[in-house]
Amino acid sequence: MKNSLLYAFTLSVFFTLIGCAPNTSQTTQQKSNSLNQKSSPPMLISREVLLGNPSRYQGRISPDGNSMSFRAPVEGVMNLWVGQIGDFSSAKPLTQDTGRGIPTHFWSLDSQYVFFTQDKNGDENWHLHRVDVGSGEIQDLTPYQGVQADQMHQSEAHPGTIIVGMNDRDAKWHDMYQVNVATTERTLLEQNDGYAYYKLDNNLKVRLAVKTAEDGSSHVFTKADNEWHLWFKVPFADSQAFNILGFDKQNQGIYMIDTRERNTAALVYLPIGETTPTVIASDDTVDVTNVLLHPRSHVPLAYALNFIKPVWHAIDDAFITPIKQLNNQLNGGSQVLAQTLDNSLWTVFTDQSNQSPIYNSI
């Protein structure tokens, strides 16, 4: 009896609520009509703004400090431009590509050439080309079928030469070649029999090789008597942050980012053959995310820590003022993309969240 009464009461309340409820569809339609009368559709962002070419992009300063280069459209296709530093009116296109455009470029250390990489129709077989800044002559430095150019190195001590990894012998591995920039003639330096990548010293000698083991760890090898010997291992957990930055001026040791036996990544120095690195810069809270090296002495000048945004810290006291200036001028993430050989000028890329990226010369 109690259950029957409860059921009847429940039904009564339910139908009463239905009877009292407003006409939902009618109310919604009235609100929609009211909103349409009071507001207009939001303005759409044009596809040109979202997907179109930038007016200028990927700025670089030449190693001698006299010229600047950047990518900019020529009839809607991104090409290479070069002009006198700071004078955009002097800039002229070095290339006239009409296809997919040129994705990336960098200077030869003697400032005579601009290098760029390009594939064909998206096949990802990137060839390395050079453009003579004086004559405008363009030459493919890796003119081999199916080759992918990778791991490029230069040295001021060897002008007119660039080291390029090419995989035309075996698509899985890049052999290291010395290429004459003027004639495109290549000479084999190292045949790759299973290494992920190589590190060359400042004399363009292949000194280190890195191999990924089955467990995901990185094994670093040194070369002696024309054979590779295991130097040290980097566990899988530390492999993502691990980075060999380069050799010291005497080619006796390496600077690298290392997280082994640490909670955060540190900038360290490790002499060849030794196993205990010397910490140069670190922080207990965040990783060292970037390092600025001198182009000639190869010593670390500054490093960046990223709490909320990258903040640079000087290592060399002589660079306290320019590093302070760098931090004060930049509002977003920043990176030094190019330096003159005497380190008097830097090209700095600033990526801000609320506007287009900016390239500064400081």
Query: What does the pLDDT look like over 198-223, one tens digit per residue?
Result: 999 999 999 999 999 999 999 999 99
Supply the pLDDT for residue 355.
66
Quick check: 93 and 79 in contact, CB under 8 A?
yes
User: How would DSSP label each residue in 209-242?
Assistant: EEEE-TTS-EEEEEEETTEEEEEEEE-HHHHTT-
Supply the pLDDT for residue 131.
97
Q: Please tell me the least confidently modeled range out of 146-155, 275-284, 345-354.
A: 345-354
Burial of 131 (0-12, 13-18, 19+ CB in 10 A): buried
Supply the pLDDT for residue 14.
29
> Is 39 domain-assigned?
no
The token pair at 228 is 């590779």
The token pair at 43 is 């303005």
Supply the pLDDT for residue 296.
96
Supply the pLDDT for residue 334.
76
**What is the domain extent for residue 120?**
48-193
pLDDT value at 189 more than 80:
yes
Q: Could you tell me which of 77, 38, 35 has the C-alpha nearest to residue 54?
A: 77
Query: Is 155 strand, coil or helix?
Result: coil
> Is 101 domain-assigned?
yes
The token pair at 24 is 């939902």
> Is 15 domain-assigned?
no
Share of the chain above pLDDT 90, in %: 70
**165 and 295 share one domain:** no
> Is 349 domain-assigned?
yes
pLDDT value at 105 more than 50:
yes
**292 and 187 share one domain:** no
Residue holding tokens 């640490």?
262
Average pLDDT of the segment spanning 50-63: 87
The token pair at 297 is 């002495």
Report residue 104: phi and psi, to 5°. -155, 155
d(CA 264, CA 257): 10
Domain count, the chain: 2
Query: Is 24 strand, coil or helix?
Result: helix
Average pLDDT of the segment spanning 89-113: 95
**187 and 293 share one domain:** no
Tens digits of per-residue pLDDT, 220-267? 999 988 899 999 999 999 999 999 999 999 999 999 999 999 999 999
Question: pLDDT confidence of 41, banded at 50, 70, 90?
Answer: confident
> Is 30 domain-assigned?
no
**66 and 180 share one domain:** yes
Question: pLDDT confidence of 197, banded at 50, 70, 90?
Answer: very high
Question: pLDDT confidence of 281, banded at 50, 70, 90?
Answer: very high
Share of the chain above pLDDT 70, in %: 85
Name which residue leads in pLDDT, 84 or 46.
84
Question: pLDDT confidence of 15, banded at 50, 70, 90?
Answer: very low
Q: Could you tell me which of 122, 166, 119, 170 has the C-alpha nearest to residue 147?
A: 166
Handedness of CA 140, 204, 159, 315 (dihedral sign): positive
Domain end marker among 193, 225, 259: 193
Supply the pLDDT for residue 359.
67
Q: Could you tell me which of 209, 213, 268, 258 has the C-alpha nearest to residue 238?
A: 258
Report residue 35: phi and psi, to 5°. -65, -40
Average pLDDT of the segment spanning 152-173: 96
Quick check: 255 and 277 in contact, CB under 8 A?
no
Quick check: 119 and 127 in contact, CB under 8 A?
yes
d(CA 283, CA 287): 7
pLDDT value at 26 more than 70:
no
Distance of CA 167 to the CA centre of its chain: 22
Neighbours of 46 (CB within 10 A): 9
Tens digits of per-residue pLDDT, 285-344? 999 999 999 999 999 999 999 888 889 999 999 999 989 888 887 666 778 889 999 999
Burial of 129 (0-12, 13-18, 19+ CB in 10 A): buried
Domain end marker among 141, 165, 193: 193
Query: Is 4 strand, coil or helix?
Result: helix
> Is 320 domain-assigned?
yes
Domain end marker among 160, 193, 226: 193
Question: pLDDT confidence of 29, banded at 50, 70, 90?
Answer: low
Quick check: 218 and 233 in contact, CB under 8 A?
yes
Name which residue leads in pLDDT, 361 or 294.
294
Tell me the range of 224-228, 277-281, 347-351 where mean pLDDT is highest: 277-281
Supply the pLDDT for residue 92.
96
Torsion-angle region of 169 (φ positive above 0: left; ψ -120 to 50: alpha; else: beta): alpha
> Is 264 domain-assigned?
no
Query: Is 31 strand, coil or helix?
Result: helix
**55 and 183 share one domain:** yes
Name which residue leads in pLDDT, 51 or 332.
51
Q: Could you tell me which of 334, 347, 350 has the C-alpha nearest to residue 62?
A: 347
pLDDT value at 357 more than 50:
yes
Supply the pLDDT for residue 10.
34
Supply the pLDDT for residue 11.
33
Write the CATH number for 143.
2.120.10.30
Burial of 144 (0-12, 13-18, 19+ CB in 10 A): middle
Supply the pLDDT for residue 32.
53
